[in-house]
Amino acid sequence: MVYQTIKSIRTPWAVLVKLDTLPYSVVRAEGWIDRLVEDVERHGYWGATGSFRPIDVRLGKCNAFVTQCFSENFSVFRPSEWLKAVESEGGDLVSRMATGQLEPGDRFGTERAVDNYMRKQGLFLRFVSDTPDRSMFHINQWGERLLALRERYLRREGVEPYLNLAVPERGGPGEIHPWDRYYGYPKPALLKRLRIWAGVHRRRLLQR
């Protein structure tokens, strides 16, 4: 669906936001995307992305964070460049998308293709940081739960711990469980969390 949609775009730039990603701003966002595009063009970035935890976030030009990991949860890019990346790195994925004959491993295929393309070409994305006044949260929840979480999110209930989890001063991606990564993700009972903790530390000890 994403591939077919992006193929149909006729504007120079596209903004992609998945349905389980929640945007928020305390002020009207008029001109925000324009300013982001101007920043991307001025510094020679491939595009911009956010709302997830890339493994390689670092400081780039003008103290802005950059990454070579692309997310379809929220991204700003040139459709022509996206298609070029996917069609050059996607292999048989492109023909499967065209016919609708997708395989289970294709779920993140277009994102992997863009990641590979950027690393080979030495390109970077501007990583959009969150603030209490403006954020983009991929919550990985659907249905009635998504709607309920959206109401809490717009009231800014408990959002602070989930701001900028990927940036170095917050410890980077690391090993983090879904209930600590996604806003409002159901947290297991204490006993199950203790068993998970014990299993993680046991695995680390065996690897030494």
Q: What's the pLDDT at 98? A: 77
Q: What's the pLDDT at 49? A: 95
> With the C-alpha atoms ordered 159, 111, 129, 59, is the resulting torsion angle positive or negative?
positive
pLDDT exceeds cutoff 60 at 174: no
* pTM for the full predicted model: 0.83
**Segment 101-114 mean pLDDT:** 84
Q: Please write the tens of the pLDDT for every residue from 34-56.
A: 899 999 999 999 999 999 888 88
Phi/psi of residue 74, each to 5°?
-150, 125
Phi/psi of residue 176, each to 5°?
-135, 140
Q: What's the pLDDT at 18? A: 92
Strand partners, 47: 77, 125
Q: What's the pLDDT at 168? A: 64
pLDDT exceeds cutoff 90 at 172: no
Phi/psi of residue 76, each to 5°?
-125, 125
pLDDT exceeds cutoff 70 at 89: yes
Banded model confidence at residue 169, pLDDT cuts 50, 70, 90:
low
Residue 118 and residue 45: Cα distance in Å, rounded? 10
Q: What's the pLDDT at 170? A: 59
For residue 187, the number of C-alpha atoms closer than 13 Å in the C-beta half-sphere is 11
Q: What's the pLDDT at 16? A: 93
Residue 173 and residue 175: Cα distance in Å, rounded? 7
Q: What's the pLDDT at 177? A: 80
Q: Please write the tens of the pLDDT for every residue from 61-70.
A: 778 899 999 9
Helix/strand/coil for 23: strand
Strand partners, 17: 74
Which among 188, 208, 185 has a CA at the least distance from the CA of 196?
188
**Segment 179-187 mean pLDDT:** 87
